[in-house]
Structure formats: C-alpha cells, structure tokens
Amino acid sequence: MKKIIVVDDSLYMRTIIKDALTSANFDIIGEAGTGEDAIDLILDLNPDLITLDNILPDMLGLDIIKALKDEECTSKILMISAVGQQSVINTGLSLGADAYIVKPFTPEQLLSEVDKLLA
C-alpha cells in the first residue's frame, strides 16, 4: 500500500483529502497542519507521496519543498493551490514539486493526479 502524508492547515480540507485517498486504498500515515510538523514528519516517515497546501501558518508550501529537497527527500510532491497562483505553481515545480492541482477540486481529480504520480 502506498504511503501518503497530507499537509494542510485546515482540518476540513485534510479530512476531504484523507477520505478520498483512504477510499482509494491509500495509506495515510500522517498529517500535519504546520510547516514545521510537516517537514519533521515527512523526513521521519519518508512517505511515497505528500499532498501540500501552499499557505500554512508558519511558512509556505514552497519553503517546505525547498527544505525537503535540501534533505534529498524522494517523496513525490503534489501541490494543492488556490486559483490564480500560477507563479507559485511555477516556482514549486521548478523547485522539484511533481504535480499540482487547483482548489476547488473533485476527489476524482485528486485521485487521478495521485495515481499518475504513484504509477
């Protein structure tokens, strides 16, 4: 079973993402609401994939990507971003994010991106 960590500061959003992924038989091994927790958790558990919100209370998703890449983390990164943030997405991709989806999204969209990345 592929292991996933969900990073988002909204419990609501995390729940939606978790439910969608769990129903598709993914293993949610952790979740984080702050950048600090996210980085520690990901480096510790080394998941196959992370879903990453960009705006967190203590830092940006971009900072997390940077920190993870500095540590040579190999987890696939799926950025989740609000509409109209193309520059953020571009930066994220150039830093090493693997794909992105734009909020609001359907569970199907999410799963199709995740499936592609973990294929």
Partner 1 sequence: MAKEEEYKNLFLAEALEHYEELNQFFVQLEKDHADKEAVNAIFRITHTLKANAAAMGFTAISETAHLLEDIFGEIRQDKLALSVKIFDDLFRANDKLGELIEAVKTGEKVRFRGMQAKLKVILRDAKGITPEESVLAGKTPTPQKENVEQAKSTPEKKVEKTEESPESSAKDSAQKTAPKTEEPPIKQVPIQSPKKKSQSKITFSDVVQVPVEKLDNLLNLVGELAIEKDKLITQSQFSELADEADYAALYRITSDLQYSVMGVRLVQVSVLFNKFHRIVRDISVQEGKKINLELKGTDVEIDRNILQIISDSLIHLVRNAVSHGIEPETERQQNGKPTIGTVTLLARNDKDNVVIEVSDDGRGIVAQKIRQKVIEKGLLTKQLATQTPDDEIINYIFEPGFSSADKVTAVSGRGVGMDVVKRATDSVGGKIQVSTQQGKGSTIGLYLPASMAVKSVLLFISENTEYAIPLGFTEAVINLKKANIHKVGKGLAATYLEQTISVVWLRDLFTPDCLENLYESKILHHSYDQIDENEELFVIVISMHHRMVGLVVDKLLHQKEIIEKPLAKPIDKVSFISGVTILGNGNVCLVMDIPAVVNHLFSAGKNTHAPRKLKRLV
Residue ranges that bind partner 1, judged by CB under 8 A: 34-41, 43-44, 58-60, 62-67, 70-72, 87-88, 91, 94-95
Report the residue number, 21 or 64, with the smaller CB distance to partner 1.
64
**Which residue lies nearer to partner 1 by CB, 8 or 26?**
8
Cβ 69 to partner 1 shortest distance, Å? 9
Name the minimum Å distance from CB 14 to partner 1: 17
Do 84 and 104 touch, CB atoms closer than 8 A? no
Residues with Cβ within 8 Å of residue 96, at least 6 apart in sequence: 65, 68, 69, 77
